[in-house]
Structure 1
């Protein structure tokens, strides 16, 4: 599974057919998720309307309404003329919100969201460690690790999410990858509500490195344990600031 295949799995998850019920809301959710997690980055052009509507299994009217909502939110912009289309825009910074507002936004109580992550992400890391990774897989994972540390504060959160998504994708399960993407979306909402702490960033970098090395070494139990420790550290920080 090369780096291109990892991204293809993300794209497959993002652009899989949406449920018939709540098609408008789910279409928005999928596109926003892709932008917030860095699967779709600033300047990326969305597929043509007809193609994207067919891929998502929604009507073109529904897709247009969803894209208009994203455009109103400043997440995409439309350009006319030659080379035109709908492009991902630079995400806006959002003002701090109360815990109640954040929990309403992520759809879970804080403790429930953190419990979901603790169940899912250590298992995803263990699954990745259980697989025989190609040289390309190994190189890709190291590159995602490098990107997560060699970045600016403004882009760090997205690079962090991309590393976690890559770990999930290397497990080979689209379903697991989809759940981890959902967890990362909720986590992003939470982390944007607390201050950035340099000491925590350095600790997180070391934990990420330990997780990746355990996966590359095929150490299933160690990968699970390292990810669980990482998850618990983030949970403690969030509970401390948001409780």
Structure 2
């Protein structure tokens, strides 16, 4: 009887393993997209990831293979090896083609979606966010930002923190998902791009972060919902223009 049941168990396990692989891959993909793992960072070992997600090592291995196929990570053997986030520009032609097609096709849609949700999230943060949460947003303006990677991580903390401050969990989750889906794969594009078309070559990224977010943070701190909403909308419009400049540069390299 056990011999007859084994194929059925295996058939039952296959969909579950596929679902688990998808969950693991998406979680890692999102963390890479939001800057939790910077280019060149080594990911936790398969054993550690399996323990974190409560899955088997084979499921983790398949998820990492999926990310490798997308050009997001690469694996090397040896004592100093492991799986690392692919540095900008080293993903190869296939990864660059996928990045270009994906970002080019979805940038407008994601920016329109962000325009629909993030200005209102800023209004909610101003009108009902706790004093501590609002002050924390202002404090982020003084974060040391030394390069584009640090800018991206701090930018994520600001936008997600602002959405969370409003107290609407559904809206906050939407902001996180929109950013993750927009940036996944695109980090290699925007972190590896020549930003001189957007910023001067000697640009202080810490100063840039402050200038681009200060008006929003101060409006939120003051409890001015209408001003916070308007400032966020203007900020997203500027961000969209910056991405369009980078996409034009990237297209010119094809």
> What CA deviation, in whole Å up to 9, does each residue of 1:147-205 have, x standing for no partner?
2x633234322222222122122223333233222332315727457531226966663
Instruction: Determine which structure has more spread, i.e. the larger CA radius of gyration.
Output: 2
Q: Residue 142 of structure 1 corresponds to which residue in structure 2?
A: 138
Q: Could you tell me which residue of structure 1 aligns to residue 28 of structure 2?
A: 31
2:172 matched residue in structure 1 = 177
- Which range is displaced more, 58-67 or 226-235? 58-67
Q: Equivalents in 2 of 1:100, 1:70: separation in Å?
A: 15
RMSD: 4.1
Instruction: State the Cα deviation string for residues 102-158 of structure 1 (Å, max 9, x = none).
Output: 4643594332122112112212212211224143x24432332322x6332343222
> Does 1:109 find its partner at 2:110?
no
Residue 124 (structure 2) pairs with residue 127 (structure 1)? yes
Q: Which residue of 2 aligns with 1:198?
A: 199
Q: Is the 8 A contact 1:38 1:162 kept in 2?
A: no
Q: Distance in 2 between matches of 1:71 and 1:116?
A: 29
Matched ranges for 1:8-19 at <5 A: none
Partner in structure 1 of residue 5 of structure 2: none
The alignment covers a number of residue pairs equal to 216
Structure number with the higher helix fraction is: 2
Q: Could you tell which deviates more after superposition, 114-123 or 70-79?
A: 70-79
Q: Which is worse superposed, 150-159 or 215-224?
A: 150-159
CA distance in 2, matches of 1:68, 1:119: 35
Deviation at 1:79, TM superposition (A): 10
Structure 1 unaligned regions, length at least 5: 1-18
Asked whether the equivalents of residues 124 and 168 of structure 1 are also in contact (C-alpha less than 8 Å), the reply is: yes
The structure-2 alpha-carbon separation of the partners of 1:66 and 1:141, relative to structure 1 and needing over 3 Å to count, comes to: same
Q: Does the CA-based 8 Å contact 1:117-1:183 persist in structure 2?
A: yes
Which whole-Å CA distance do the structure 2 matches of 1:79 and 1:101 have between them? 26
Q: Name the structure 2 match of 1:219.
A: 224
Q: Residue 52 of structure 2 aligns with which residue?
A: 52
TM-score for the superposition, normalised by structure 2: 0.64
How much has 1:91 moved relative to structure 2? 4.8
Structure 1 residue 90 displacement after superposition: 5.6
**TM-score if structure 1 supplies the norm length?**
0.67
